[in-house]
Amino acid sequence: MSSSYKSFSPSRIWALTMSTVTQLLRMRILVFLLVISVVVVGASFAFPTFNAAQQLKMLKDVCFGLEQLFAYVIAMVATALLLPKDVEDRTLYTILAKPVPRLDYLLGKLFGVLIVIGGGLVLLDIMLSGVLWIKQGYVLEDTLAGLHMQLGGTPPPEAIAAATADVEKQGLTWALHVGVLAIFLKASVLVSLTLLISCIATSTLFSVITSFCFFIMGHGETLFREYFFKGGTAWWQYLAAAVLAIFCPDLSLFDVVDAVTEGRAVLLTDALHMTGIGLLYTGGYMVVAYLLFVEKEL
Amino acid sequence: MSDTAVVIENLTKVFNRGVGHKLFTAVKDVSFSVKAGEVYGLIGPNGSGKSTTMKVLLGLLAPTHGKTSIFGMDSQLVESRRAVGFLPENPYFYKHLTGMETVLFFGKLCGMSGKKLHDQAKELLKLTGMEGAADRRLGGYSKGMLQRIGLAQALVHEPQLLVLDEPTAGVDPAGSRRIRDLILDCKARGITVLVTSHLLEQLQEVCDRIGIMSQGQMVSEGPIEDLISVENQTEFVLENATPELLQQIRDLVASKPGSGTLLSMGHPHTTLERMFLKVTEEDERLEATRTKT
Amino acid sequence: MKRKLQALVVFILLGICKLPLEQRTATSLRSHEMLYAPLDYSARDAVGQMGFAATLGGLRSLVASITYLMGYTAFEETNWSRVDMLFGITTMLQPRFDVYWDDAAGHMAYDAASNYLYDESRPTLYRKQLYRENVQRGIDILNEGLRHLPKSDRLHTSLGHLYARRVEPRNHELAGEHYLLAYQNGGLPVMERLAAYEWAQLNNAPERWKQAYTILKRSYGMGLRAPGTMNFMHSLENKLNIPPALRMR
């Protein structure tokens, strides 16, 4: 025999990861990205009648909205397709008939989807940053020219400084990249949750619908959790709130996109908290997914 | 390494088909073993439990009762698969990969890498006759080509045991013959082969031992010669025998009543498969000569 | 089966352990204004089923942008009640973005109010009443915005402008107060002077006059000699009976 067996092998996981990436790219994901990129560039020319801050805010809102749509749709739909498709095509038999631990297979799928989502988000982030940077320059120029006309001469330095600060606040900031990180973290949680559901699901449709339900409930989990912590209500309401809070992840914890598009700066501690929570969910759900998959009969 | 490649001991597999459905027993108390280096054929009608037995052996299903082992190691352990190459029935690989990429991918899953893997992949593609199509995507392959790529991936990590599930299903006679030759080649290299097939004549040509399954149970098992030979009959084939000689034989048998009975005498038939191969090979040879001139 | 039970146990344990962590992280993020409190279920009627689902999906700012654009279209069609409703939704979705409050108030107190005032198809008295009502609506919107963003110089400036330029009669006291708050919360230095100009126009308010005079004297000391500033300064010197020797020239 030519190779020795290792129960954990990064190169084996990497081979599965890259095969997942290729598999996903074959699902025309690049076309999806291309359409979003066109909209990003198009959005930079839109809303010319609005003031500087509003134009930049609109551009960010549209782009971040599309980035979220891209990340969450891929996270739920593409992930839900992966496992059942491998079972249906029997590729899973051929793979698991090799000395491949089932955990490696799951990790390969997880990392493959995350690389596609992460790569897509990085591309869109670079594009948005570029477009925003150029647009910021233009709108600042327009604003200062407007001030010049309004005052009939050179505006005072304080007015220039205030207008510049206003535009810069809505322009390209580091916080925007933290917003992209938050989208990625939420997508990671969704990918691991969808993989978990795939391990018990009997069809792709079931996985997609269940993931979507978790997605919606995950954004309302705060309500259940706070209800649970507040207590003092009827026991069955208390129990229902507890069950929902325990079973759903709090996806709203990653919704800092609203704040960053408003021009707020993100504290490092907040970014770290968010990352920690994201890793906890993803890691936890992968452990559960493994426990379900390791006994799955194929 | 153990002398016995495969041991299936009192294997029972029961499927729970959900609430409201009865339990379904796919395999019931099956036992057999495959010695290292031999070719073992598992035959039986559809639904007889052959595939389930193979899936349990490969760790894709867990046994309800009993034990399965590969070279002495519990086959439910991932590590046991280090010694196994598997070709599923109608194999489906990632269609977006080329033949070469497919073999490399499965090689990497077995922990192989670098030049050694590339050389091994090239050699196997040559061995399976897929060298010319190595750079084409699997999406455009015929069934026979997929089967041969399947065989190449199954052999990539130089396994000691080759498990083939209906390897010739849907493949033309020439392709079937090539797969048969590959099985014999594996046997010559000391690889144990466990194979299922509906084409009993082909199994007869390659297998040392046969197990026949029906309704989840092993109904007959043993060396192929023992199973198919007709003990009270003798056959001999003569070439260019004159009618006089044939008449003398008839007379001789008739003159010794009680010593035996002549049941039939005539021209032996070739098989349709042999005839097909002869005709197509001749045609190919003529085509090659025409191209040269 | 054993593994399935283990999976369920891990899933529940994870769910229990995460609760306090989530609570702490949510509190921290909210205290730093990084997260909004969850949208009230009653908001569903306002934003519609689709919009509500989208906000639940974390696309709150995108939905706010869409309602903002719809509000802008309604403004172009001079459909003021719709403008008010749509901007109400926009500000409800993103109450911490002061530009939305400012625009919402501006559309009502300037665009709608002026549109009604110059709408000759209506009786004069009614036009004036509509003008007043819409200016007041603008003030209410800004006050609501200041409840969420008490330190927004933009909102204080806009409110100052409304009291100084739009309400009838003009409210110099409140206008000055908001201009000064705008300056104190990072607004332009001119806001402080605008506060002084407003208070300079008050009747019988010696304390405000003194405050205004102090501001203008400081500006004068910094070399500011704009005619407007000088006029208000002289007026205040007269009102405060500043001895001629101490007056600015």
Boundary of a domain, candidates B182, B209, B228: B228
Instruction: Mark yes or no for CB contact B112/A100 under 8 Å.
Output: no
Boundary of a domain, candidates B184, B201, B228: B228
Q: Convert the pLDDT of each residue in B130-178 to its tens digit.
A: 888 888 988 888 888 888 888 899 999 889 999 998 887 777 777 788 8
Q: Convert the pLDDT of each residue in B106-117 to its tens digit.
A: 999 988 888 999
Rounded CA separation A70/B214 (Å): 52
Query: What does residue B193 show for φ and ψ, rounded to 5 degrees?
Result: -125, 130
Our CA angle for A112, A113, A115, nearest 5°, is 65
- Number of domains into which chain B is organized: 2
Rounded CA separation B103/B120 (Å): 9
Question: Is B41 in the same domain as B111?
Answer: yes
Chosen for mutation from A36, A61, A103, A269 (greatest number of chain C CBs closer than 10 Å) is: A61
| In chain A, where the domains are located | 10-293
The residue of chain B with its CA nearest to that of A202 is B18
Question: Is B222 in the same domain as B251?
Answer: no
- The 8-class DSSP code of residue C246 comes to G
Instruction: Mark yes or no for CB contact B109/A98 under 8 Å.
Output: yes
> Hey, is the C-beta of A61 within 8 angstroms of any chain C C-beta?
yes
Instruction: Mark yes or no for CB contact A11/B111 under 8 Å.
Output: yes
Q: Kindly indicate the confidence band of residue A5, based on its pLDDT and cuts at 50, 70 and 90.
A: low
List all chains that touch chain B, counting a touch as 3 or more CB pairs closer than 8 Å. A
Tokens 């959005």 found at: A43
Question: Is B188 in the same domain as B71?
Answer: yes
Instruction: Mark yes or no for CB contact B60/A93 under 8 Å.
Output: yes
Question: Is B45 in the same domain as B137?
Answer: yes
Chain A from 199 to 238: CB within 8 A of any C CB: 215-216, 219-223, 225-226, 228-229
> Hey, is the C-beta of A274 within 8 angstroms of any chain C C-beta?
yes
The residue of chain A with its CA nearest to that of B61 is A297
Highest-confidence segment of A148-162, B276-290, C105-119:
C105-119
Q: Which residues of chain C have pLDDT under 50?
A: none
Question: Is B167 in the same domain as B277?
Answer: no
- Residues in chain A within 8 Å Cβ distance of B162: none
The residue-averaged pLDDT of A41-65 equals 81
Rounded CA separation A76/A194 (Å): 6
Size of interface A-B (CB pairs under 8 A): 104
Instruction: Mark yes or no for CB contact C190/A221 under 8 Å.
Output: no
Question: Is B259 in the same domain as B114?
Answer: no
Domain CATH code at residue B125 = 3.40.50.300
Q: Kindly indicate the confidence band of residue A234, based on its pLDDT and cuts at 50, 70 and 90.
A: confident
Instruction: Specify which residues B11 forms β-bridges with.
Output: B30
Q: Convert the pLDDT of each residue in B74-117 to its tens digit.
A: 999 999 988 899 988 776 788 888 999 999 999 999 888 889 99
> Hey, is the C-beta of A245 within 8 angstroms of any chain C C-beta?
yes
- Residues in chain C within 8 Å Cβ distance of A49: 72
Highest-confidence segment of A44-48, A161-165, C15-19, C34-38:
C15-19
Burial of B1 per CB tally in 10 Å (0-12, 13-18, 19+): exposed
Whether the Cβ atoms of residue B93 and residue A94 lie closer than 8 Å to each other:
yes
Preceding omega of A10 cis (within 30 degrees of 0): no
- Structure confidence at residue C52 (pLDDT): 67
Question: Is B95 in the same domain as B132?
Answer: yes
Instruction: Mark yes or no for CB contact A258/C94 under 8 Å.
Output: yes
Decide if pLDDT at B1 tops 60: no
DSSP chain B: --SEEEEEEEEEEEE---TTS--EEEEEEEEEEEETT-EEEEE--TTSSHHHHHHHHTTSS--SEEEEEETTEETTSGGGGGGEEEE-SS----TTSBHHHHHHHHHHHTT--HHHHHHHHHHHHHHTT-GGGTTSBGGG--HHHHHHHHHHHHHTT--SEEEEESTTTT--HHHHHHHHHHHHHHHHTT-EEEEE-S-HHHHHHH-SEEEEEETTEEEEEEEHHHHH--TT------SS--HHHHHHHHHHHHHSTTS-------PPPPPHHHHHHHHHHHHHHHHHHHHH-
Nearest-Cα distance to chain C for A185, in Å, is 13
Nearest-Cα distance to chain A for C19, in Å, is 7
- Residues in chain A within 8 Å Cβ distance of B93: 91, 94
Instruction: Mark yes or no for CB contact C1/A270 under 8 Å.
Output: no
The residue of chain B with its CA nearest to that of A101 is B78
- The 8-class DSSP code of residue C112 comes to I
Size of interface A-C (CB pairs under 8 A): 157
- Residues in chain A within 8 Å Cβ distance of B113: 11
N-terminal to C-terminal alpha carbon distance within chain A = 27
Instruction: Give the per-residue SS3 of B71-90.
Output: CCEECCCHHHHHHEEEECCC
Decide if pLDDT at B25 tops 80: yes
Angle between helices C43-56 and C60-76 in degrees, nearest 10: 130
- Return the higher-pLDDT residue of C192 and A235: C192
**What are the residues of chain A with a beta carbon less than 8 Å away from any beta carbon of chain B?**
1-7, 9, 11-12, 15-16, 19, 22-23, 26, 89-91, 93-102, 295, 297-298
- Return the higher-pLDDT residue of B144 and A250: A250
Rounded CA separation B54/B37 (Å): 18
> Hey, is the C-beta of A295 within 8 angstroms of any chain C C-beta?
yes
- Residues in chain A within 8 Å Cβ distance of B92: 89-91
Question: Is B180 in the same domain as B260?
Answer: no
- Structure confidence at residue A232 (pLDDT): 62
Q: Which of A229, A246, A287 sits opposite C23 (nearest CB)?
A: A229
Instruction: Mark yes or no for CB contact A22/B94 under 8 Å.
Output: yes
- Structure confidence at residue A284 (pLDDT): 95
Query: What does residue B23 show for φ and ψ, rounded to 5 degrees?
Result: -70, 145
Instruction: Mark yes or no for CB contact C97/A57 under 8 Å.
Output: yes
Question: Is B217 in the same domain as B247?
Answer: no
Nearest to B48 by CA among B194, B196, B214: B214
Decide if pLDDT at A2 tops 50: no
- Structure confidence at residue B271 (pLDDT): 62
Q: Convert the pLDDT of each residue in B251-274 to its tens digit.
A: 888 888 888 888 888 777 666 556
Q: What number is the ipTM of this complex?
A: 0.85
The residue of chain B with its CA nearest to that of A13 is B109
Q: Kindly indicate the confidence band of residue B64, based on its pLDDT and cuts at 50, 70 and 90.
A: very high
Decide if pLDDT at A3 tops 60: no
- Structure confidence at residue B273 (pLDDT): 59
Q: Which of B82, B92, B111 sits opposite A89 (nearest CB)?
A: B92
Decide if pLDDT at A1 tops 50: no
Whether the Cβ atoms of residue A248 and residue A214 lie closer than 8 Å to each other:
yes
The residue-averaged pLDDT of A28-43 equals 82
Q: Which of A219, A284, A291 sits opposite C3 (nearest CB)?
A: A291
Whether the Cβ atoms of residue B87 and residue B58 lie closer than 8 Å to each other:
no
Nearest-Cα distance to chain A for B209, in Å, is 24
Question: Is B239 in the same domain as B216?
Answer: no
Chosen for mutation from A200, A288, A293 (greatest number of chain C CBs closer than 10 Å) is: A288
Domain assignment of residue B271, given as a range: 233-293
The number of residues making up chain B comes to: 293
- Structure confidence at residue C101 (pLDDT): 94
Chosen for mutation from A94, A202, A294 (greatest number of chain B CBs closer than 10 Å) is: A94
Question: Is B181 in the same domain as B269?
Answer: no
Instruction: Mark yes or no for CB contact A288/C189 under 8 Å.
Output: no
Query: What does residue B162 show for φ and ψ, rounded to 5 degrees?
Result: -115, 120
- Structure confidence at residue A262 (pLDDT): 84
Instruction: Mark yes or no for CB contact B120/A23 under 8 Å.
Output: no
Q: Do chains C and B touch (3 or more CB pairs under 8 A)?
A: no
Question: Is B210 in the same domain as B242?
Answer: no
Q: Convert the pLDDT of each residue in A188-221 to its tens digit.
A: 999 999 999 999 887 888 889 999 989 988 888 8
Decide if pLDDT at B280 tops 90: no
Alpha-carbon separation of residue A15 from A112, A261, B37, B53 (angstroms): 10, 38, 32, 29
Boundary of a domain, candidates B175, B197, B228: B228
pLDDT, mean over chain A: 87
Helices marked H in chain C: 2-31, 43-56, 60-76, 80-93, 98-106, 113-117, 124-148, 153-161, 172-184, 189-200, 206-221, 227-239
The residue of chain A with its CA nearest to that of C17 is A246
